[in-house]
């Protein structure tokens, strides 16, 4: 494996900067796109005619990005090597009528997005980020990255059962953050957001806004061998895919037998059924248009897809020292043990024996250790974009990721080595 494709602890430092710059899916794809631009990639519009030229290209749609690199001399039926990930994380989302409150408190009305651990959002300093839609049809990214909101927990004196019996939270009543005192006035929040964005509030016709923890990522532990931070599920994989794709695109074209692709989707945490989700047509459309732009036919498309492999990269569960009985007794993924291969015979993950061989070979080339994750038979198994990608596009898919703790918390925990070990394996896979 070329030394230019190898990442080290500096990659983990860069991941922490990526997390801070990406408080929403819209920021995540903008940040990834900016990094790909530095590697020579250029945006193509979906509404424009595409040509068959070589080089790096990407498409942005909402909170999703698909990027690919066409080597010089690639045929119309050259297969793809895809790394899939998702840009969204479980959190709180601002409602269409956001201004609410009671008893002299001004609050923001929010919905619960995905399977978030509600208690991790309590008593935490929160900013506000996302995008606003303007009357002229354009969008503006917004990132108020300072303490603005807080979901206050009830004092233990008023809930004596909280410690012995466990905290019980009502998703509607208990999760509305406060952001000030005084009378509730309709339009206040969006007026404030518009001012922060430098636009007229009357021009704001829609918004996709979400609170985010403003505490920065940090190294943890005696030897700084751990990293704590927000949105690792699954920006850790998005970051690794973007870094690996940029590095692979810098290799000599004759060394690339495949067309490397990064596909980062939105809405994985609520089922992927959207125009920017993995269950939508975005990836298939981009791949097909790439084939046809190079003069290909439907036959070329079928040949390319038949030889294509996708690594679906998402976080998985490291064994928890306080809850070891919740894990499979013989499969114990550990922090800093390298990326995990995710297996479920009921196809909650898309991995099979053939896919295992592809992943094992990529790790061998990258000189990266790897582990296997299987759920305890007595526990329901989660899922991700892998099975959706395999079924929708008919391409071989392998589910992998990095083992973490506190998944779906507002602040998750991973090993400091695992992000760059994943990126090295992904780069070796994309390079073929």
Angle between the N-to-C axes of helices 353-366 and 418-431, in degrees from 0 to 180, rounded to the nearest 10: 110
The pLDDT of residue 124 is: 97
Q: Is the pLDDT of residue 1 over 80?
A: no
Nearest Cα residue to 318 out of 226, 406, 384: 406
Q: Is the pLDDT of residue 165 over 90?
A: no
| 329 Cβ contact partners less than 8 Å away, ≥ 6 residues apart | 376
pLDDT tens across 336-378, in order? 999 999 999 999 999 999 999 999 999 999 999 999 999 999 9
Q: Which residues share a beta bridge with 262?
A: 67, 83
Helix (H, G, I), strand (E, B) or coil at 407: coil
CA distances from 399 to 6, 311, 340 (A): 22, 6, 9
Phi, psi (5° rounding) for residue 424?
Answer: -65, -45
pLDDT tens across 39-81, in order? 999 999 999 999 999 999 999 999 999 999 999 999 999 999 9
141 pLDDT tier (thresholds 50, 70, 90): very high
State pTM to two decimals: 0.97
Q: Is the pLDDT of residue 4 over 80?
A: no
Helix (H) or strand (E) holding 389: helix 385-393
162 pLDDT tier (thresholds 50, 70, 90): confident
**Dist CA 272 CA 85 (whole Å):** 11
Nearest Cα residue to 402 out of 220, 233, 229: 233
Pairing type for strands 55-61 and 42-43 reads parallel
Torsion of CA 91, 343, 256, 14, to 10 degrees: 30
Q: Is the pLDDT of residue 3 over 70?
A: no
Residue whose token pair is 């990126």: 423
pLDDT tens across 270-307, in order? 999 999 999 999 999 999 999 999 999 999 999 999 99
Angle between the N-to-C axes of helices 282-293 and 385-393, in degrees from 0 to 180, rounded to the nearest 10: 50
The encoded tokens of residue 41 equal 């990639």
pLDDT tens across 124-136, in order? 999 999 999 999 9
Helix (H) or strand (E) holding 67: strand 64-70
Percent of the chain predicted with pLDDT > 70: 100
Torsion of CA 387, 400, 58, 211, to 10 degrees: 90
**Dist CA 403 CA 364 (whole Å):** 19
């Amino acid at each position: 494996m070329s030394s230019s494709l190898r990442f080290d602890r500096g990659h983990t430092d860069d991941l922490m900067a990526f997390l801070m710059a990406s408080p929403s899916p819209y920021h995540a794809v903008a940040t990834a796109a900016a990094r790909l631009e530095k590697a020579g990639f250029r945006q193509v519009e979906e509404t424009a005619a595409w040509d068959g030229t070589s080089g790096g290209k990407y498409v942005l749609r909402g909170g999703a990005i698909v990027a690919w690199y066409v080597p010089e001399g690639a045929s119309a039926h050259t297969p793809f090597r895809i790394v899939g990930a998702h840009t969204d994380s479980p959190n709180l989302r601002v409602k269409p009528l956001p201004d609410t409150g009671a008893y002299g408190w001004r609050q923001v009305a929010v919905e619960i997005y995905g399977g978030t651990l509600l208690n991790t959002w309590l008593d935490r300093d929160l900013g506000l980020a996302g995008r606003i839609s303007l009357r002229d049809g354009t969008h503006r990214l917004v990132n108020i990255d300072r303490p603005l909101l807080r979901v206050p927990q009830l004092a233990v004196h008023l809930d004596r059962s909280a410690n012995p019996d466990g905290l019980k939270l009502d998703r509607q009543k208990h999760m509305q953050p406060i952001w000030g005192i005084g009378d509730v006035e309709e339009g206040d929040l969006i007026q404030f957001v518009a001012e922060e964005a430098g636009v007229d509030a009357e021009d704001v016709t829609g918004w996709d806004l979400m609170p985010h923890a403003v505490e920065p990522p940090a190294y943890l532990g005696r030897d700084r061998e751990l990293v704590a931070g927000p949105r690792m599920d699954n920006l850790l994989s998005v970051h690794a895919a973007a870094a690996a794709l940029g590095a692979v695109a810098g290799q000599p074209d004759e060394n690339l037998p495949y067309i490397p692709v990064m596909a980062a989707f939105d809405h994985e945490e609520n089922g992927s059924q959207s125009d920017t989700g993995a269950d939508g047509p975005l990836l298939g459309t981009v791949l097909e248009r790439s084939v046809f732009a190079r003069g290909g036919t439907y036959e070329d498309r079928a040949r390319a897809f038949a030889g294509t492999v996708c690594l679906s990269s998402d976080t998985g569960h490291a064994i928890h020292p306080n809850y070891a009985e919740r894990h499979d007794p013989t499969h114990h993924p550990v922090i800093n043990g390298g990326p995990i291969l995710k297996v479920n015979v009921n196809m909650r993950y898309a991995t099979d024996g053939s896919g295992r061989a592809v992943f094992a070979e990529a790790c061998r080339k990258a000189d990266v250790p790897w582990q296997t994750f299987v759920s305890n038979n007595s526990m329901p198994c989660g899922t991700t974009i892998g099975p959706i990608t395999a079924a929708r596009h008919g391409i071989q898919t392998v589910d992998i990721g990095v083992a973490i703790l506190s998944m779906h918390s507002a602040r998750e925990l991973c090993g400091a080595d695992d992000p760059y070990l994943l990126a090295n394996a992904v780069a070796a896979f994309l390079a073929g």
